[in-house]
């Protein structure tokens, strides 16, 4: 049973009430053994990660009836059931992201990951949001730059799909980290998958968070490239000094790493040099002193690296600080260090200082998966993920990049089809003519290029060839095919409302505040509102975030938009009755579909069942006890079973009592009053 704690709760409820009361077992939306990206990644989360973050001691809660897990409030559900629901949140949100690819849906993946494995999104809020803010606001000054936020979530999904479908990688990962490699040992298989999810998530989702350090460097360089000058000797460039501010290890950290590795380290540079040399040194014939020098020079001597700044250095250093601040140094282990060294290796360190993959004389073998599984997977997926990335740089916006991709991971292989926008056919035709002319001329000089398309379409197969020079694909054969297709932009749900997706968290906090404060939200300190929000379970936090996501769509239907910029339109401070009649049914539909996707069922047993005194006593009163029972049944009288149509949901909405209808629109009136409090957003009408 994929969600075993939910199944256990269902059995307890059936024994208690004599009917199949719930909760429902979550459904895997991509059924069967399909091996496309979405099916494989979701199947990994649904089936292979059974028992994620379970506490074995929490099984006793079923016997005692004293629960420590959080539903709407603390102490309403078994702890392990809450962990199952958390995993279901991640599964459902990943599905949404793969379908859309937008930053708002990437955001909830980060949110789920941090809540599940770090236990507190708020502590890492700035780290997660900074990259997107820098990219959206500063990258247009660069010559070449594309999105790294949604990109990282795609990389995450690719890794899950490859782990799920590639038996060889699974076995080598298990052996590397001390798990029984046998597929028949299901307990070990689940444990290994949960381990991979945690540390692969850490590696993939945060591998590019150091870009805010690289972007200023590239902005300065762009002044030279705009004038046609190549970077090199004579270029003005930025370098970073006093790096010990972020690399020095404190006394507790030194003690912890001495416990783990039997030796002392003065800085993360020392630690990472040791970690990389320990795994790769013998294979690639370098020592720790060589590696430490390469790492140490990255931020202070970019002229020694072709006048490029390596964001991977800053990603690993910054993420180390975040791990320590969030988890505590006593919780840091060797796998965390493996994730950090994988990040440090992925951009240029391995390619140009270890394997020399473009140097025919010095080139060494590509990285094998058993040498450093996390680094291997990151470098493979980072190269494969080149589709559906927003182009920010001046040149990047005019280049031809794949807009979509489809994958088949069958038979331990990867077959990737990258789709280019059919509206760019004239560029492709011009390239093909130039390439054929170059061939007929005897192939003198450099071949014509059309960025990614030419790397995939020309006979040299540069795209595949470069990947095969970086990572060993003997056990994951790779086939790449370019194709032409129309681009489906509707899935992006792009509306006129624009500020930054960073407002989603504040929107969600504002929406939740309405339920407890009923119009007094503006008088409550922001920190108190955030604390109340963080006490919710992940499911309810994500529900509020998804409600906030929908706001732009609702405003679009009203002919309105929000922005944090001053514009010459009429501002609105409250929705009219006519406007409410438009978006309130839309919000009800969102709520119904959300509950259906999360496995809630229709019913009122939690309101009508006779409760025993011992079932009420832990909660103090009957109303609170019934609220907790609703969470354990995952039943709601306003939910709808099956897959109702839009018309059926709207008809359902019209039958609601006015008190229930208000729940679909009052939060948004409250949010109108609170958005200024948080981020200075205003809502305007186009009329």
User: Is residue 600 pLDDT above 50, yes or no?
Assistant: yes
Report the pLDDT averaged over residues 463-476: 95
Report the pLDDT averaged over residues 522-530: 74
Q: Cα–Cα distance between 51 and 633 in angstroms, integer?
A: 20
Q: Cα–Cα distance between 605 and 256 in angstroms, integer?
A: 52
Q: Cα–Cα distance between 550 and 681 in angstroms, integer?
A: 16
Residues 153-208 have pLDDT tens digits of 999 999 999 999 999 999 999 999 999 999 899 999 999 999 999 999 999 999 99
SS (H, E, C) 166-221: CHHHHHHHHHHCCCCCCCCCHHHHHHHHHHHHHHHHHHHHCCCCCHHHHHHHHHHH
User: Is residue 48 pLDDT above 50, yes or no?
Assistant: yes
* Confidence band for 449, pLDDT divided at 50, 70 and 90: confident
* Confidence band for 255, pLDDT divided at 50, 70 and 90: very high
Q: Cα–Cα distance between 33 and 651 in angstroms, integer?
A: 37
User: Is residue 634 pLDDT above 80, yes or no?
Assistant: yes
Alpha helices for 518-645 (secondary structure H) = 526-534, 538-558, 577-597, 605-608, 613-616, 622-633
Of the candidates 137, 113, 143, the one whose C-alpha atom is nearest the C-alpha of residue 230 is: 143
* Confidence band for 415, pLDDT divided at 50, 70 and 90: very high
User: Is residue 91 pLDDT above 70, yes or no?
Assistant: yes
User: Is residue 476 pLDDT above 80, yes or no?
Assistant: yes
pTM over 0.85: yes
Lowest mean pLDDT among 308-322, 374-388, 505-519, 607-621: 505-519
User: Is residue 394 pLDDT above 50, yes or no?
Assistant: no
The pLDDT value recorded for residue 122 is: 61
Of the candidates 638, 637, 547, 634, the one whose C-alpha atom is nearest the C-alpha of residue 599 is: 634
């Amino acid at each position: 049973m994929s969600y075993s704690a939910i199944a256990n709760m269902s059995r307890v409820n059936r024994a208690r009430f004599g009917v199949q009361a719930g909760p429902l077992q979550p459904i895997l939306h991509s059924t069967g053994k399909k091996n496309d990206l979405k099916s494989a990644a979701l199947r990994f989360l649904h089936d292979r990660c059974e028992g994620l973050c379970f506490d074995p001691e929490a099984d006793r809660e079923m016997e005692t009836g004293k629960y420590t897990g959080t539903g709407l409030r603390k102490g309403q559900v078994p702890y392990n059931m809450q962990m199952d629901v958390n995993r279901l949140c991640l599964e459902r949100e990943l599905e949404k992201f793969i379908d859309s690819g937008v930053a708002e849906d990437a955001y909830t993946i980060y949110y789920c990951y941090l809540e599940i494995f770090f236990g507190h999104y708020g502590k890492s809020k700035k780290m997660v949001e900074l990259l997107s803010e820098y990219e959206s606001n500063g990258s247009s000054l660069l010559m070449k730059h594309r999105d790294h936020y949604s990109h990282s979530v795609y990389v995450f999904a690719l890794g899950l799909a490859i782990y799920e479908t590639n038996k060889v990688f699974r076995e080598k990962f298990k052996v590397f980290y001390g798990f029984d490699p046998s597929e028949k040992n299901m307990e070990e298989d689940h444990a290994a998958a949960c381990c991979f999810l945690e540390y692969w998530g850490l590696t993939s989702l945060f591998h590019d968070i150091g870009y805010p350090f690289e972007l200023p460097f590239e902005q300065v360089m762009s002044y030279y490239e705009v004038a046609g000058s190549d970077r090199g000797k004579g270029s003005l460039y930025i370098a970073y000094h006093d790096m010990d501010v972020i690399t020095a290890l404190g006394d507790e950290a030194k003690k912890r790493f001495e416990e783990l590795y039997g030796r002392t380290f003065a800085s993360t540079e020392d630690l990472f040099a040791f970690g990389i040399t320990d795994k790769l040194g013998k294979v690639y014939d370098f020592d720790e002193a060589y590696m430490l020098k390469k790492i140490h020079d990255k931020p202070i001597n970019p002229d020694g690296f072709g006048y490029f700044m390596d964001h991977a250095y800053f990603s690993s250093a910054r993420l180390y600080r975040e791990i320590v601040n969030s988890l505590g140094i006593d919780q840091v282990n060797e796998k965390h260090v493996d994730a950090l060294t994988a990040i440090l290796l992925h951009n240029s360190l391995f390619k140009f200082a270890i394997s020399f993959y473009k140097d025919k004389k010095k080139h060494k073998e590509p990285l094998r998966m058993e040498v450093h599984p996390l680094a291997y997977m990151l470098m493979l997926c980072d190269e494969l993920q080149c589709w559906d990335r927003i182009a920010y740089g001046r040149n990047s916006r005019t280049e031809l990049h794949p807009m979509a991709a489809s994958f088949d991971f069958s038979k331990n292989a990867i077959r990737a089809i990258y789709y280019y926008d059919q509206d760019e056919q004239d560029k492709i035709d011009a390239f093909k003519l130039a390439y054929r002319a170059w061939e007929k001329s005897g192939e003198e000089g450099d071949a014509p290029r059309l960025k990614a398309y030419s790397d995939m379409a020309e006979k040299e197969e540069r795209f595949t060839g470069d990947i095969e020079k970086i990572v060993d694909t003997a056990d994951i054969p790779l086939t790449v095919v370019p194709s032409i297709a129309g681009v489906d932009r509707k899935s992006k749900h792009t509306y006129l409302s624009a500020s930054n997706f960073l407002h989603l968290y504040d929107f969600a906090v504002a929406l939740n505040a309405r339920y407890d404060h009923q119009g007094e939200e503006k008088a409550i300190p922001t920190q108190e509102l955030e604390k109340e929000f963080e006490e919710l379970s992940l499911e309810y936090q994500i529900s509020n975030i998804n409600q906030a996501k929908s706001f732009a769509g609702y405003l679009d239907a009203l002919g309105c938009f929000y922005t944090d910029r001053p514009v010459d339109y009429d501002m609105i401070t409250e929705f009219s009755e006519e406007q409410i009649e438009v978006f309130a049914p839309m919000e009800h539909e969102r709520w119904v579909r959300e509950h259906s996707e999360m496995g809630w069922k229709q019913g009122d047993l939690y309101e009508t069942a006779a409760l025993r005194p011992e079932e009420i006593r832990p909660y103090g009163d009957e109303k609170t006890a019934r609220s907790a029972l609703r969470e354990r049944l995952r039943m709601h009288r306003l939910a709808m079973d099956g897959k109702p149509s839009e018309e059926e949901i709207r008809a359902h909405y019209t039958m609601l009592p006015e008190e229930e209808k208000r729940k679909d629109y009052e939060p948004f009136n409250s949010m109108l009053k609170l958005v200024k409090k948080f981020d200075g957003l205003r809502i305007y009408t186009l009329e």
